[in-house]
Chain A
Amino acid sequence: MSTELTMTLEVFRYHPETDSEPRFQAYEVPYDEDWVVLDALNWIKDHVDGSLTHRWSCRMGVCGSCGMMVNGDPKLTCAVFLKDYYPRPIKVEPLVNFPVERDLVVSLDGFMDKLEAVKPYIIRGDVNDTSGGEYLQSPAELAQYKQYSMCINCMLCYAACPVAGHEDEFLGPAALALGHRYNKDSRDQGQAERLDVMLVGEAIWGCTFVGECTVVCPKHVDPAGAIQQAKAVGAQEFFKRFVAPKGAGV
C-alpha cells in the first residue's frame, strides 16, 4: 500500500437467517487510486469481514457478475474507480429491481426465465445438416446484429429501467435486445417463434422508451434502440395479417 489514506464504504448488509431487515455497515478501506470498488469489497472480505457476500469473477468487465448500485447508479464494480468518489463515502447496494438473496447478491431467477423465454440462440430447421458447408454471412449482415451480441447479461439495464421495476410481464432490455439480435441474424429462422413471446401482453409493449438501459450499458449495447426496432417489426406483423392470409409465410 503506497498511502495511508482511507475512505468509507457504506455497504448494504442483509443475512436473511439472522437479520429481520437490511442495514448499512460502514467500512474504512485503504484508498488507492488504482483501486476499483470491487477491490475495496474484496479487501473488506479478506481483511475485515469474511461474511460479506458479493458476486464477482473476471475483474475486467467481461463476465457481468459484479453489477451493483454504486451511489445509486447501476455499475460494474470492477469498472468504477475509488478515485472518482474520493474523499466522499461510497454507498454500495445490490442491484435494484431484483430480490436480494444476501448482502449484495440478488436472485437471477426471474431474469434467467425472461432470457430463456426469448430463445436467444439460432433456430433453424436444418441445424444438423452440414452438407452445404458453413452458413456464410456478409459484413453488412453481421452489422445488423453485432452490437446487440455484445451483451454480457450483467443486468445493469434492469436496475436502470423504471418499467422493469413495476411490470412483471415486461421481458426487460437485455432479453428483448438479445431476442432482437437473433431475429436480425441472417442465419436464423426463428423470428416468428420469438415474436410469439415478445409481442404478447406487456412483454415488449411495456417499454416507454425511457432509454436508461442504453445509458448504463457497460458494453455500449443499445437495448432501447433494439426494442424500438423490434416494436416496428411487431407493428409490421400486425398489419401484415390483414393483407396476407395466416400461414402464407410472409
Chain B
Amino acid sequence: MKRSDEAFWWALFSAGGVMAALFVPAFVLVTGFLLPAGGDAAVAAERTARFAAAVGWWPVKLALLGVLALSFVHCGHRIRHTLMDLGLRRFSGLLKVPCYGGALAATVWAAMLLWRI
C-alpha cells in the first residue's frame, strides 16, 4: 500500500507549530506591549518607526513571510483535521482545497502587505 502524502502536510503543520509557538508570542509582546510601553506617544511613535524600518529590510521581510506562511499552513491543517473530527472525514482530500488554499491566499496577502512596507 502506498504511503500517505499526509507526511508532507504534517511536516509543514509541524514546522508552522514551532514558528507560531516561538515567534507569534514574541511579535505580540513587541508590537503590543514593548513598543507602546511607558505611555509617551512620541517615544512610542519613534520606536515604532525604527521597528518598521527594521521590518522594511528585505531579509527581515523574507523571514517574516516564512514565519507567517508556515503559521497559516499550521492553522489550515488544524482546521482541516477539526472538520474531519466533526464528521467530514470522508472529505479529507477535498478539504485540502479550502484549508491549504486559504493558507496560500493568506500568504499571498501577507507578501503583498510586506512588499508595500
Q: Which residue numbers of A lie inside 8 Å of B, CB to CB? A: 162-163, 166-167, 195-196, 199-203, 205, 208, 231-232, 234-235, 237-239
- Alpha-carbon distance between A167 and B85 when the two chains are bound, in angstroms: 9
Q: Are A195 and B89 in contact (CB under 8 A)?
A: no
- Given A231-B10, A235-B11, A238-B11, are A201 and B85 neighbors across the interface (CB < 8 Å)? no
- Interface contact A162-B3, CB-CB below 8 Å: no
Q: Hey, what's the 0/1 contact readout for B84-114 against A, CB within 8 Å counting as 1?
A: 0100010000000000000000000000000
CA distance A162 to B82 in the complex (A): 12
Contact A235 B1 (CB under 8 A): no
CA distance A235 to B77 in the complex (A): 15
Give, as a whole number of angstroms, the nearest-CB distance from A242 to chain B: 10
**Count of B residues near A, CB < 8 Å?**
15
Give a binary string over B2-18; 1 marks a CB under 8 Å from any A CB, 0 the rest: 11111110110010000
Given A162-B85, A208-B85, residue A200 in contact with residue B10 (CB < 8 A): no
Main secondary structure of the interface of A (DSSP, over half): helix
- Interface residue from B3, B14, B89 paired with A199 (Cβ < 8 Å): B3
Cα A162 to Cα B86 in complex, Å, equals 11
Known: A232-B14, A235-B10, A239-B11. A196 touches B4 (CB 8 A): no
B residues with CB within 8 A of A: 1-8, 10-11, 14, 81-82, 85, 89
Q: Which of B10, B82, B85 contacts A205 (CB 8 A)?
A: B10
For this complex, 11 residue pairs linking A to B, each with C-beta atoms less than 8 Å apart, are A199-B3, A200-B2, A201-B4, A205-B7, A208-B81, A208-B82, A231-B7, A234-B3, A235-B7, A235-B11, A238-B11
Alpha-carbon separation in the docked complex, A220 to B69 (Å): 37
Q: Are B6 and A205 in contact (CB under 8 A)?
A: yes
Q: How far is the CB of A240 from chain B (nearest CB, A)?
A: 10
Contact A200 B3 (CB under 8 A): yes
Judging by beta carbons under 8 Å apart, are B4 and A199 in contact? yes
- B82 cross-chain contacts in A, Cβ below 8 A: 208
Residues of B within 8 Å of A163, CB to CB, are: 85
B4 touches A205 (CB 8 A): yes
B8:A238 contact, CB within 8 angstroms:
yes
Determine how close the nearest CB of chain B comes to the CB of A190; give it in whole angstroms: 16
In whole angstroms, how far apart are the Cα atoms of A199 and B3 in the complex? 5
CB distance from B80 to the nearest CB of A (A): 10
- Return the contact of A234 from the options B1, B2, B7, B81 (Cβ within 8 A): B7
Residue in contact with B3 in the complex, picked from A167, A195, A208, A231, CB distance below 8 Å: A195
Instruction: With both chains docked as a complex, state the minimum distance between the C-beta of A123 and any C-beta of chain B, in angstroms.
Output: 18
Looking across the interface, which residue of chain B has its beta carbon closest to that of A200? B1
Chain B residues with Cβ below 8 Å from A237 are: 3, 7
CA distance A232 to B2 in the complex (A): 18
Q: Which residues of B contact A196 (CB under 8 A)?
A: 1, 3
> With a CB–CB cut-off of 8 A, which chain B residues contact A208?
81-82, 85
Residue from A162, A167, A238 within 8 A of B7 (CB atoms):
A238
